[in-house]
Amino acid sequence: MRRLVGFFSVVLSFALSQAAGAGPPNPVEIIKNFSDFQQIDVVRLLNGDILSERGSLMDFPNGISAQTCFAVPLSAEEAAKRLQLWDPSPHAELKVYAFHPLHMPCELADFQPLDFNNGQKPVRWLVAKMVASTPEKSELNLTRDEAREFAGCLPKRADLPKVSGCWAGLLLSRASAFQQRGLAGVLPYEVAGESVSPAEQLRTMLREQLAVSHEFLPILKKIGLAGNAAEPSLTPFYYWSLFDADYHGTMSLGAVYLLAVGDHFQLVDLEYYVSGNYYTSATLYEVWPVQAGGKSGALVWRGDFFAAPMLRFTKGTERIAYGVLMLQDIKKEIRCIEDEAKTGR
């Protein structure tokens, strides 16, 4: 028995000495372990390269995903903070007409900048869909009660300020429910007689990417996307935005969570409400400090998960093309993030 204890002591001390000598885990190896990237040249990333991969086909028919990896010349902490608060609206190429933070608790005044009178055709499209909405039929992502309330709010000859006011009320209700109860407070949309839960769609997509979900378990547990926690224990940055999605004006409510995990950071940007065109999206970031080729910066892995109704009917080569175009949009956004990091804006 004493000999066995001695043997285990030797093994244990060897293992501990190995662990102590290993130093902090190498971010490149970690990314290789959970992502689709097997070749990562940090020097090239620090020089502006962006690695990108379409996600593999999902069992979830409405889902699509993509992965990217890039670097910015900032400390990991600074990069993570910037990603959390990043405002895409100054970049015209991203076609984001408005992006505004929400207070906690949010109030109607947070939506006062909402202006449908900006002359943009996609926004006129959105207003037309809003005005045409009835409790029985709507092209927007609403519950039947929301559609009824919204239709009741609009007078017969609705003017734009009135439409904005009614819509702001609807967004306020959704944002308040999310701030109070997290994903448990997100009402499912009623689409063509079916109930569509953005929260459940996000969970389904993440379940299909086990390695990614496992890597992000610390933050996913805290925001209710994994594990049994019903309510989030992290306070995110809340926002609303108005943008062009394939020539269609679209509004979304989102929250960006940030969590420090040892020497690196995890972020989740989730759109818990989208007015139409698609159902929901989540963007995951993991940010590490790196040094290579005499430069230091932050290495960022990004995963995008996106659920949309038309993806169910987009198959074969069209689906591949859709993934390629999605990646192009993501890379366009990343270049804007990189430019801001370089110029210190």
Partner 1 sequence: MKAAFATVMVLFFLCAAVLASNPMSISEELDAQYSYVGDAKTRGAGLNAGSIDEHSADIKYVISPQVNKDLLLRFGFEWQRFSFDVPDHAAVPRVLQQASGVLGFDYQIADQWLMRAEVEPGIYSDFRDISWRDFDAPLILGAVYLADADLQWFFGLRLDVRCEYPVLPVAGARWKFADEWTLNFMLPNPRLEYKVNDRLTFYLGGGVEAGTFAVGEDFGSVHGQPKLDGAIVDYLELRLGAGCSWKITPSVTIEAEAGDMPYREFEFFDPNVEFRSHNAPYGQIACHARF
The residues of the shown chain that bind partner 1, judged by CB under 8 A, are 52, 54-57, 59, 61, 121-122, 125, 246-248, 310, 312-313, 315-321, 324-325, 327-329
What's the min distance (Å) between Cβ of 53 and partner 1?
8
What's the min distance (Å) between Cβ of 24 and partner 1?
32
Q: Which is nearer to partner 1, 116 or 265 (CB)?
A: 116
Q: Which is nearer to partner 1, 246 or 339 (CB)?
A: 246
What's the min distance (Å) between Cβ of 260 and partner 1?
33
What's the min distance (Å) between Cβ of 147 and partner 1?
19
Q: Which is nearer to partner 1, 267 or 326 (CB)?
A: 326
What's the min distance (Å) between Cβ of 60 and partner 1?
10
What's the min distance (Å) between Cβ of 203 and partner 1?
19
Q: Which is nearer to partner 1, 12 or 324 (CB)?
A: 324
d(CA 39, CA 30): 12
Q: Which is nearer to partner 1, 55 or 289 (CB)?
A: 55
Q: Which is nearer to partner 1, 57 or 229 (CB)?
A: 57
Q: Are 252 and 241 in contact (CB under 8 A)?
A: yes
What's the min distance (Å) between Cβ of 194 and partner 1?
14
What's the min distance (Å) between Cβ of 30 and partner 1?
22
Q: Which is nearer to partner 1, 61 or 113 (CB)?
A: 61
Q: Which is nearer to partner 1, 93 or 339 (CB)?
A: 93
Q: Are 245 and 141 in contact (CB under 8 A)?
A: no
**3-state helix/strand/coil string of the chain:** CHHHHHHHHHHHHHHHHHHHHHCCCCHHHHHHHHCCCCCCCHHHHHCCCCEEEECCCCCCCCEEEEEEEEEECCCHHHHHHHHHHCCCCCCHHHCEEEEEECCCCCCHHHHCCCCCCCCCHHHHHHHHHHHHCCCCCCCCCCCHHHHHHHHHHCCCCCCHHHHHHHHHHHHHHHHHHHHHHHHHHCCCEEECCEEECHHHHHHHHHHCCHHHHHHCHHHHHHCCCCCCCCCCCCCCEEEEEEEEECCEEEEEEEEEEEEEECCEEEEEEEEEEECCCCCEEEEEEEEEEEEECCEEEEEEEEEEEEECHHHHHCCHHHHHHHHHHHHHHHHHHHHHHHHHHHHCC
Cross-strand bridge partners of residue 343: none
d(CA 236, CA 272): 13
